[in-house]
Structure formats: C-alpha cells, structure tokens
Amino acid sequence: MKIDHKDGGGALKENTSGIILMPDEGKTLTLGGIRVNLKTVSTDTGGKWSMVEYSAPPHFAGPPPHWHRHTAEAFYVLEGNPTFRLGDDVIKAEPGAFVYVPKGKVHTFANPEDEPAKFLTIIVPGGLERYWVEMADMEAEPEWLSAPALASRYDMYEAELAG
C-alpha cells in the first residue's frame, strides 16, 4: 500500500505501517548493466534513511571516485567479490564484508570479477536513491557523474584519488 508521506507542511512523514518485501520485491531499476532494487526509500522513513540492493555485472567499472557532503553510506556484500575503495584503502570484498563511508570521504566501488556482485547499500539520510530513479526515468546509460547538475542535486561530487 502506498500512501502520501508529506504532511501539511511539506515535511516527509514516516511510514508507520511497516514494509515487508520478499526477495526481488521492491521497485527495480535497470541502468545499462546494473540493477538497483529500491527496498526502502526516504519517503518510507521520514527522510531518515533508505536502502537499495545493488547488482553489478561482471567487469563493471563502477562510478568514478566521489564524495557526499551530507550523506553517509554503508555497504554489505551479499554475493560476489566487488572492490571498494575508501580514501587510500582498497579491498576485494567477499560475502559478509561491510564498508562504512562517512560523509565527506572519497570512495568508489567496482566489480572487476567474472561473476556478478550484489550488495546492500544503506543511505543516511535518505534521498540519494532518487538519483537512480531519475537516471532510469531519463532512460540514460549510467554515465555516473557526467551530469554534474544531476549528481550534485543528490549530494554526489566527483573527486580525485591518489595512486
């Protein structure tokens, strides 16, 4: 059941009914080879957080290094061996690995492997998930941060990584 989450003042209201989703349920967006399944969006949580299930195909280059002014992200690997870069640290993750990215920290991820990778991403505060929705609505390839105005609207800023 979908409800209007805006109160009379325009603020987001939290869904107090709860949400139950079975595997593969939720709104699924496909952009190029990636698949983003929206599990909980900011309008469900009063803007506090959102969670997406992200599926990256084999040999996925990932987004360029970027950072967020106001957004923190947490990644939990479900399948495959994606690579995460957090500042100068690079790890080849495995199922069960966890990566926390505080706001302001430069990061990126990729899937250089021959098998797909899947991970959950928790976004605090919520809202960044709308970036993928807007990209899917435009039916654009995920050129990531090639549209700075779109990216900055969702608190994403390109960065350089040393080495």
What pLDDT digit, counting tens, does each position of 27-52 carry? 998 887 899 999 999 999 999 999 99
Supply the pLDDT for residue 2.
33
Give the model's pLDDT for residue 152.
80
Number of Cβ within a 10 Å radius of residue 54: 19
Nearest CA to 35 among 107, 142, 137?
142
Say what the pLDDT of residue 145 is: 46
For residue 19, tell me if it sits in a domain. Answer: no
Residue 3 lies in a domain: no
Residue span of the structural domain in which 55 resides: 27-158
Residue 1 lies in a domain: no
Q: Could you tell me the pLDDT band of residue 139, with boundaries at 50, 70 and 90?
A: low
The pLDDT of residue 89 is 95
Residue 160 has pLDDT above 70, yes or no: no
Q: What is the CATH number of the domain that holds 128?
A: 2.60.120.10
In a domain, 106, yes or no: yes
Residue 13 lies in a domain: no
15 part of a folded domain: no
Tokens for 44? 């469900």
Calculate mean pLDDT across residues 108-131.
96
pLDDT value at position 79?
98
**Is 8 within a domain?**
no
How does pLDDT run across 73-84, given as a tens digit for each residue?
999 999 999 999
User: Does 96 or 152 have the greater pLDDT score?
Assistant: 96
pLDDT in tens, 1-32: 233 333 344 456 677 788 888 888 889 988 87
In a domain, 136, yes or no: yes
Contact 127, 40 (CB under 8 A): no
Q: How many structural domains is the chain composed of?
A: 1
In angstroms, rounded to a whole number, what is the distance separating the alpha carbons of residues 95 and 151? 29
Amino acid at 156: M
As a whole number, the mean pLDDT across the chain is 85
**63 pLDDT more than 70:** yes
